[in-house]
Chains A and B, each alone.
Chain A
Amino acid sequence: ILNVEQSPQSLHVQEGDSTNFTCSFPSSNFYALHWYRWETAKSPEALFVMTLNGDEKKKGRISATLNTKEGYSYLYIKGSQPEDSATYLCAFEPGSARQLTFGSGTQLTVLP
């Protein structure tokens, strides 16, 4: 069983604050780390697929970093807005099986 953990479980921030959360995953047999954003009643939306150690990806105010040697990834949101409120999921993809193991997510609420 692969262990993928996300912290914190939930987070409330004020509009304009920057925030970050963590995903930890196995450091062996790494193929890719996926980040998704999931708003209530909608489909999870793919944010990033990260494959290289040290990689940093950015999409607007959201960015992510990857450390495959120590098995963690950070997701950052700069200047949070109420529309950023969602659950952010990470998923580990091992090289031996092209399937995703998900963390339980970080639920972000941005207060106006």
Chain B
Amino acid sequence: GAVVSQHPSWVICKSGTSVKIECRSLDFQATTMFWYRQFPKQSLMLMATSNEGSKATYEQGVEKDKFLINHASLTLSTLTVTSAHPEDSSFYICSARSGTGLNEQFFGPGTRLTVL
């Protein structure tokens, strides 16, 4: 149980385009989803926390107009990188929490974004 999917697994886009990444909890309802970014040889950095039906909470330094997060249902959250630039190239990974038990977060496999 507790499977989280993420799509796409990799994407290459041109500078100036927008890219949408989907995160789905497949076998549980996720009251909260998290979006992380990982730079090479660094740890996972939390970008934002989203609760179903409400606006996402962004971490300091993360532009909310650049990284649009929507958590429209208890099983789906999306991250849209708007007007992507080469510096947005990174590894993005989501996690989901059911809100019960020990607060485990279950992760998707991540998305490698390359902006040309």
Q: Do A and B come from one complex?
A: yes
The residues of B with any CB-CB pair to A shorter than 8 Å are: 2, 4, 32, 34, 36, 41-46, 49, 93, 102-110
A98 at the interface (CB under 8 A from B): yes
Q: Which residue of A lies closest to B32 (CB)?
A: A98
Cβ contact within 8 Å between A34 and B104: yes
| Alpha-carbon distance between A103 and B32 when the two chains are bound, in angstroms | 22
Chain A binding surface, main DSSP class: loop
Determine the chain B residues whose CB is within 8 A of the CB of A44 once the complex forms: 93, 107
Cβ contact within 8 Å between A34 and B105: yes
Determine the chain B residues whose CB is within 8 A of the CB of A42 once the complex forms: 109
Cβ contact within 8 Å between A89 and B44: yes
Q: How far is the CB of B55 from chain A (nearest CB, A)?
A: 16
| Alpha-carbon distance between A42 and B93 when the two chains are bound, in angstroms | 11
Beyond A41-B109, A42-B109, whether A49 also contacts B43 by CB under 8 A is no
Cβ contact within 8 Å between A105 and B43: yes
**B42, B93, B105: which contacts A46 (Cβ < 8 A)?**
B105
The residues of A with any CB-CB pair to B shorter than 8 Å are: 4, 32, 34, 36, 41-44, 46, 49, 51, 89, 93, 98-105
Determine the chain B residues whose CB is within 8 A of the CB of A49 once the complex forms: 102-104
Q: How far is the CB of A94 from chain B (nearest CB, A)?
A: 12
Cβ contact within 8 Å between A99 and B107: no
Cβ contact within 8 Å between A43 and B109: yes
Cβ contact within 8 Å between B49 and A99: yes
Max chain B C-beta neighbours (<10 A), residue from A32, A34, A36, A43: A43
Determine the chain B residues whose CB is within 8 A of the CB of A99 once the complex forms: 34, 46, 49
